[in-house]
A = this chain, B = another copy of it.
Amino acid sequence: MKAARLFTYDKPLKLVDVETPRLKNPADVIVRVTGAGVCHTDLHIVEGVWKEKVQVSLPYTLGHENAGIVEEVGSAVTSFKKGEKVILHPVITDGLCRACRIGEDMHCENLVFPGITADGGFAQFIRTSDRSLVRLNELEPADVAPLADAGLTAIRAVKKAASRTTSGSNVVVLGVGGLGHIALQLLRCMTNASITAADVVESKLRLAEKMGAHRVIDARRDPVKQVMEITKNQGAEVVIDLVGNDQTLANGVKMLRKGGSLIIVGYGGTANLKAIDMIFSEFSVLGSLVGNWDELHELIELTRQGKVRVITRKGKLDEVNDMLDQLKKGTLEGRGVVIP
């Protein structure tokens, strides 16, 4: 089959022929990929950012935002059958460790992350397991593939925000891209907070308004001051940083209200936190990592209810390098989805 693979860091992916994945374990499922989202993390992988974090040898197939149609199921699989439309929770988990038992899939002790630590979905077929599937029913895989990672990461962050706010609280979202436009929709249906979105690109601010932001601020013009004005000098209960560079992290903390929480989702930068500030205002700084199966299940339900819609730009598998380029330049409108 065709697959888009990383052979060398800092080089484009190569479209090559590889062997089609086969069932190995009784709970395995082979899925025909009919939608695979293109993500900032793909850029970071190509740049070698993840090299130290995870063990993987080149070449391998990227693509960790996958949806498609069940092609073949292992001998122990009874809950899915060939032909069903599914979205793939991004990781393969053992289901037996304590983390899995309490629903914290991302902390599984035997986690495999296709597209990051194993062959992913920029290919015609992918191998996953029955534990990783969520049924799509009437939803189209290519329309919702970005929910598998961008959406899932957004809902986990928004759920952390929701549990730390009450009706009328202020939530600020830094960055209105693939994650941000979903996060805004989720904040609207999962909280009754007052939502402010910040970005440095005018068109993103217009998008934010359409997606549910009550207010938008141009982050090029002292965003901290603007948040303080909006919140009558109290600061926001929650800031969700989807950018994660040095500046957004520094600003994020300064925007917080006493007892407030900065939720870090984007990465690349470093947060420098004085202990006295952290305790004086009792701030929390929370990393947020993708999301659990149940969160993906909930997200698909909200999509079915019409409360979440992903803006996609679809292309063929061989357009993946173009999409990565545009993503880097910030010119890609909507989430890129390749249809292998």
Contact = CB atoms under 8 A, between A and B. Distances in A.
A285 B273 contact: yes
A25 to B, nearest CB: 7
A59 interface: no
A266 interface: yes
A307 interface: yes
A281 interface: yes
A294 interface: yes
A293 to B, nearest CB: 5
A298 B96 contact: no
Interface of A: 25-27, 49, 53, 75-76, 79, 94-96, 98-99, 101-104, 106-107, 130-131, 166-168, 189-190, 192, 241, 244, 249, 258-259, 264-289, 292-294, 297-298, 301-302, 304-305, 307
Contact of A279 (B98, B103, B280, B287): B287
A267 B277 CA distance: 9
Contact of A282 (B102, B287, B307): B287
Nearest to A307: B192
28 contacts: A26-B27, A53-B280, A96-B130, A98-B297, A99-B259, A102-B103, A103-B103, A104-B259, A106-B282, A107-B259, A166-B294, A167-B302, A168-B305, A190-B192, A264-B275, A264-B278, A264-B279, A267-B276, A267-B280, A268-B276, A270-B275, A272-B272, A273-B285, A277-B287, A279-B288, A279-B289, A282-B289, A284-B285
Nearest to A194: B305
Given A264-B278, A284-B284, A305-B192, A271 B270 contact: no
Given A79-B96, A101-B294, A264-B278, A301 B168 contact: yes
Contact of A192 (B79, B259, B302): B302
